[in-house]
Amino acid sequence: MEQREVVKRVIGILTEAREMQRLLEADLEREDLDAGAGAVTALLNETMPHIAIPDDFSVEEVVAVVGREVGGAVEQLVSAFTLAFTMLAQVHDSGQTDVSSADVLQDLALRVEGGGPDDDDNPLL
Protein backbone atom coordinates (compact mmCIF):
# COMPACT_ATOMS: atom_id res chain seq x y z
CA MET A 1 0.00 0.00 0.00
CA GLU A 2 1.35 3.44 -0.88
CA GLN A 3 2.18 5.84 1.94
CA ARG A 4 -0.42 8.34 0.72
CA GLU A 5 -3.15 5.72 1.11
CA VAL A 6 -1.91 4.78 4.57
CA VAL A 7 -1.97 8.44 5.65
CA LYS A 8 -5.51 8.85 4.30
CA ARG A 9 -6.65 5.76 6.18
CA VAL A 10 -5.01 7.01 9.39
CA ILE A 11 -6.81 10.34 8.97
CA GLY A 12 -10.07 8.41 8.63
CA ILE A 13 -9.37 6.41 11.78
CA LEU A 14 -8.55 9.56 13.76
CA THR A 15 -11.59 11.40 12.40
CA GLU A 16 -13.85 8.47 13.28
CA ALA A 17 -12.34 8.27 16.78
CA ARG A 18 -12.97 11.99 17.33
CA GLU A 19 -16.57 11.62 16.20
CA MET A 20 -17.13 8.67 18.53
CA GLN A 21 -15.67 10.69 21.40
CA ARG A 22 -18.00 13.58 20.58
CA LEU A 23 -21.03 11.27 20.51
CA LEU A 24 -20.04 9.64 23.79
CA GLU A 25 -19.56 13.02 25.45
CA ALA A 26 -23.08 13.93 24.34
CA ASP A 27 -24.53 10.66 25.69
CA LEU A 28 -22.39 8.70 28.15
CA GLU A 29 -24.94 5.87 28.27
CA ARG A 30 -24.62 5.25 24.53
CA GLU A 31 -23.83 1.62 23.68
CA ASP A 32 -24.31 1.55 19.91
CA LEU A 33 -20.90 2.88 18.93
CA ASP A 34 -18.28 0.66 17.36
CA ALA A 35 -14.91 1.22 18.98
CA GLY A 36 -13.31 1.72 15.56
CA ALA A 37 -11.51 -1.60 15.71
CA GLY A 38 -12.90 -2.53 12.32
CA ALA A 39 -11.06 0.27 10.53
CA VAL A 40 -7.82 -0.41 12.40
CA THR A 41 -8.03 -4.15 11.76
CA ALA A 42 -8.72 -3.55 8.07
CA LEU A 43 -5.71 -1.23 7.80
CA LEU A 44 -3.47 -3.74 9.55
CA ASN A 45 -4.70 -6.56 7.31
CA GLU A 46 -4.01 -4.50 4.20
CA THR A 47 -0.57 -3.22 5.20
CA MET A 48 0.93 -6.28 6.85
CA PRO A 49 2.64 -8.67 4.47
CA HIS A 50 1.67 -12.31 4.17
CA ILE A 51 4.64 -14.37 5.28
CA ALA A 52 5.31 -17.95 4.31
CA ILE A 53 7.61 -19.66 6.77
CA PRO A 54 9.06 -23.06 5.94
CA ASP A 55 8.37 -25.82 8.47
CA ASP A 56 12.06 -26.44 9.05
CA PHE A 57 12.90 -22.86 10.16
CA SER A 58 14.33 -22.41 13.62
CA VAL A 59 12.85 -19.91 16.05
CA GLU A 60 15.70 -17.52 15.26
CA GLU A 61 15.04 -17.79 11.53
CA VAL A 62 11.31 -17.17 12.05
CA VAL A 63 12.06 -14.09 14.14
CA ALA A 64 14.45 -12.77 11.50
CA VAL A 65 11.97 -13.29 8.64
CA VAL A 66 9.03 -11.79 10.54
CA GLY A 67 11.09 -8.81 11.69
CA ARG A 68 12.35 -8.13 8.19
CA GLU A 69 8.96 -8.54 6.51
CA VAL A 70 6.80 -6.77 9.10
CA GLY A 71 9.26 -3.99 9.92
CA GLY A 72 8.55 -1.97 6.79
CA ALA A 73 4.79 -2.13 7.27
CA VAL A 74 5.05 -1.08 10.92
CA GLU A 75 7.33 1.79 9.94
CA GLN A 76 4.78 2.91 7.34
CA LEU A 77 1.95 2.90 9.89
CA VAL A 78 3.99 4.66 12.57
CA SER A 79 5.08 7.31 10.07
CA ALA A 80 1.48 8.04 9.12
CA PHE A 81 0.30 8.34 12.73
CA THR A 82 3.38 10.43 13.57
CA LEU A 83 2.65 12.84 10.73
CA ALA A 84 -0.95 13.32 11.88
CA PHE A 85 0.10 13.72 15.51
CA THR A 86 2.82 16.23 14.63
CA MET A 87 0.44 18.39 12.63
CA LEU A 88 -2.17 18.29 15.40
CA ALA A 89 0.47 19.08 18.03
CA GLN A 90 1.84 22.04 16.07
CA VAL A 91 -1.57 23.68 15.90
CA HIS A 92 -2.25 22.93 19.56
CA ASP A 93 1.13 24.23 20.71
CA SER A 94 0.77 27.40 18.66
CA GLY A 95 -2.38 28.24 20.61
CA GLN A 96 -4.56 28.63 17.52
CA THR A 97 -8.05 28.43 18.97
CA ASP A 98 -9.77 29.08 15.64
CA VAL A 99 -8.51 25.80 14.13
CA SER A 100 -10.07 22.51 15.22
CA SER A 101 -8.50 19.07 15.10
CA ALA A 102 -10.97 18.24 12.32
CA ASP A 103 -9.66 21.24 10.36
CA VAL A 104 -6.08 20.03 10.75
CA LEU A 105 -6.94 16.50 9.64
CA GLN A 106 -8.92 17.83 6.67
CA ASP A 107 -5.96 20.02 5.66
CA LEU A 108 -3.65 17.02 5.88
CA ALA A 109 -6.04 14.94 3.78
CA LEU A 110 -6.13 17.66 1.12
CA ARG A 111 -2.33 17.86 1.08
CA VAL A 112 -2.04 14.10 0.71
CA GLU A 113 -4.68 14.01 -2.01
CA GLY A 114 -3.11 16.91 -3.88
CA GLY A 115 0.32 15.34 -4.07
CA GLY A 116 2.03 18.54 -5.08
CA PRO A 117 5.69 19.56 -5.14
CA ASP A 118 5.72 20.10 -1.37
CA ASP A 119 5.90 16.31 -1.01
CA ASP A 120 9.64 16.38 -1.63
CA ASP A 121 10.04 18.22 1.67
CA ASN A 122 8.01 15.63 3.56
CA PRO A 123 9.29 12.06 3.21
CA LEU A 124 6.26 10.75 5.10
CA LEU A 125 4.07 11.43 2.08
Alpha-carbon gap, residue 72 to 92, rounded angstroms = 30
Percent of the chain with pLDDT over 90: 64
Residue 102 has pLDDT above 60, yes or no: yes
Alpha-carbon gap, residue 55 to 33, rounded angstroms = 42
Residue 8 has pLDDT above 60, yes or no: yes
Mean pLDDT of the chain: 86
Higher-pLDDT residue of 69, 119: 69
Mean pLDDT across 59-67: 94
The answer to whether the CB of 4 falls within 8 A of the CB of 125 is yes
Q: How many other CB atoms sit within 10 Å of the CB of residue 43?
A: 19
Mean pLDDT across 27-50: 78
